[in-house]
Structure formats: structure tokens, C-alpha cells
Amino acid sequence: MIFNTGAALLDAVVLSVVSREKEGTYGYKITQDVQQVISVSESTLYPVLRRLLKDECLKSYDREFQGRNRRYYQITASGLAQLNMYKQEWYEYTLRINKLFDGGYHDE
Amino acid sequence: MNRKEFIEKLSFLLQDISDEERHEALDFYENYFDEAGIENEQKVILELKSPERVAAIIKDGLKGQFEERIYAGNQGFSNDDYEMNYEITEPKNQEKKENKIFDRWKQMDSQDRLILVIIGIVLCIPITFSIFGIVGGVFGIGFSFVIAILCVIFGLWIVTFIFHLLAVILMIVGGITLFIHPGAGLIYLGAGCILIGLGTIFGKLATWFFKDCIPHVVDTVSNALHKIFHSRSV
């Protein structure tokens, strides 16, 4: 069973994962964290992160780690606003769907 | 496939996007391998599936098409188009076809090459033996020819020697017999003379062989060889 939700939900999940780290987090860890919640192909995350950077929902910076550069992703103010909007949408959407599934037939 | 090959293939497949985007993408995956650690290298490659698939996803992401194909369900996010054979094949050029055998040789590892060389040697053994056989045969014919000539010459000398020896014996016997049985003695003397004559003929024949025939044959052969090898340079 598959629902077509477009990219919005994956954006929301990624933004949520990144927002949990105040100092920012890096590509591999984001993928691992997202995969703990939902199964998502490793190659799917790159285009999502790239677009979120372009839309300025995320910002990135490089920091040295064990003699090499590690790219960190950090949520921006507009990213946070976007995430809150997604959350709100999700709550309302799932609430209505759940209501229909669980009690919709008995109401009225 | 290892990490290096994966990244190289991915880099090759991303040639048609801008340098900046290519570097960004390659950096991301280089970083990804670094973070996963060398012990997870194969696991990451297995999950990424193929450089072709990753390249296709990156390119669709640039065009803004990728997101439209994402589906979310109880299995998580999936993108059906990329689960199937979404592959970009390498352009095949004519040059490659021409060097097919050479390319295949280059692609082999050293063990396969060794096996191929051994098979080649084994296949060549009958040919090698037959070459040896032919060379040996030619040499044998030449050798027996020389021996035969030597035998004829020495044979002639021996026959000459024996004839002369017999002639002398017959002459002596004939000389003695002449006083007892004059007829028989004359026959013995006659036979001795015939043998001297025959012996002389064989002796002459042997001498002719040595003095005239062999030098003549050698001259002819050497002249012929001289003509074959030096005619052009003269």
C-alpha cells in the first residue's frame, strides 16, 4: 500500500532530523537517523538535502574532522518555519484521516 | 566493485552536469563513504545499488523531477522508477570493438592470463613436435646421404683392395700350379689378370669420385647457394 505524498513529507522528516541537532549534523548521520524512522534509500537523501539548501531551509558549513572535511547541515530560521508548517499540516491531515478511519462511519 | 571504482564510475556518468554540481555530489558521496567507514564500504555500495542509479537520481534532482516520483507508504519512501532498470549505459564507440581481444586481455586478472598462456603452450606442443620432426627428418636425410656416399667410396676402395689381393694370390697360385697342371695354372693367371683389371677400374672409379665427382657437386651446390644469396647484392 503506497500513498503518493510527493516530496513534502520527506522534506519534513529531514528538517525534523536536522533540527534536533543544534550544532548541525552531517549527511551520513542524517541518512541513518531518517532510516531509523522510515526506510529510505541512501541515494534518495542527496537530492533532498541539495534542494533544501537551495531553498535556504538548511545551511551548510565545513568543519575538520579527523584530518578531513566534514560537511555539516544546520536548520535555518526559514527552515524551522517550514518545519512547523509541515508539522501543523501533518497533524491536521492525519487527524482527519484517523477520525474517518476510526469513527467516521458512526458519526452523524 | 569497490569505493574507488564506484566514485570513478559516478564521476564519469555525471560528466554532462555542471562542474559545481558534480563536485558537490561527488563530495557528498565521498563524505558518505568516509563516515560509513571502511568496514561498511560494501554495505553502502549494496544499498546505493549502482552508480547508474545514483547518477540518474542526482540528475533528476537537478531537474526538479525527482520529488514528483516519491511515494510514501508503510514501507517508507520509495521511488519506483529507480527500483527498475534505470540505467545509463556507456556510449559504445567503434574503437572499442576493434580492440576487443586486446581489451579482454587487459581486463583479465593475472590468474586468467596465466591459464590462457598455459592453454596456448599446450595447444602449441603438437606443432612444436612436428616442427622438430620435420627439421630432424631433413637433417636425417642429409646425414644418411653423406654416409651413403662415404660408404660407396670406401666400398670401392675396399673392393679394389680385395680384388688386387685376390689377383696377387691367384697369380702366385697360378705360377705354382703352372708347373703341375699347366692348363689350370693358365686359368688361375688369367683370372688374376681379370681381377687386377677390375680392381684397377674400381680404384679409378673411387679416385674419380674423390677427385672429380665430389668437388664438382660441392662446387655446383656452393655456386647455386652463392647465386641465391648474393645475386642481388652484386
Q: pLDDT by residue (tens digit) across B14-56?
A: 999 999 999 999 999 998 998 888 898 998 898 888 899 899 8
Select the residue of B31, B53, B70 nearest A27 (Cβ to Cβ).
Answer: B31
Question: pTM value?
Answer: 0.50
- On whether residue A2 sits in a domain, the answer given is no
Q: What is the CATH number of the domain that holds A59?
A: 1.10.10.10
Residue A75 has a pLDDT of 95
Count of structural domains within chain A: 1
| Average pLDDT, integer, range B150-166 | 85
Q: Which domain, by its residues, includes A35?
A: 8-103
Inter-chain CB proximity B54 and A49 less than 8 Å: no
- On whether residue A32 sits in a domain, the answer given is yes
| Average pLDDT, integer, range B136-156 | 86
> Which chain B residues are Cβ-neighbours of A94 within 8 angstroms?
none
- On whether residue A1 sits in a domain, the answer given is no
Q: Looking at the predicted structure, is the pLDDT value of residue B205 above 90?
A: no
Report chain B's mean pLDDT, rounded to a whole number: 80
> Which chain B residues are Cβ-neighbours of A54 within 8 angstroms?
none
> Left if phi > 0, otherwise alpha if psi is -120 to 50, otherwise beta: which for A52?
alpha
Inter-chain CB proximity B49 and A43 less than 8 Å: yes
**A34-45 pLDDT per residue, tens:** 888 877 778 888
Calculated CA dihedral for residues A27, A33, A38, A41, nearest 10 degrees: 30
CA pair distance B179, B175, nearest whole angstrom: 7
A60 touches chain B (CB under 8 A): no
- On whether residue A23 sits in a domain, the answer given is yes
Residue A6 has a pLDDT of 64
- On whether residue A108 sits in a domain, the answer given is no
- On whether residue A33 sits in a domain, the answer given is yes
How many inter-chain contacts (A to B, CB under 8 Å) are there?
100
* Percent of residues, chain B, with pLDDT higher than 90: 13
Residue B23 has a pLDDT of 92
Contact in structure between B125 and B118 (CB atoms under 8 Å):
no
**B61-76 pLDDT per residue, tens:** 888 766 555 544 444 5
B73 touches chain A (CB under 8 A): yes
Inter-chain CB proximity A70 and B35 less than 8 Å: yes
Q: Compute φ and ψ for A76, nearest 5 degrees.
A: -100, 175
**Amino acid making up residue B130:** S
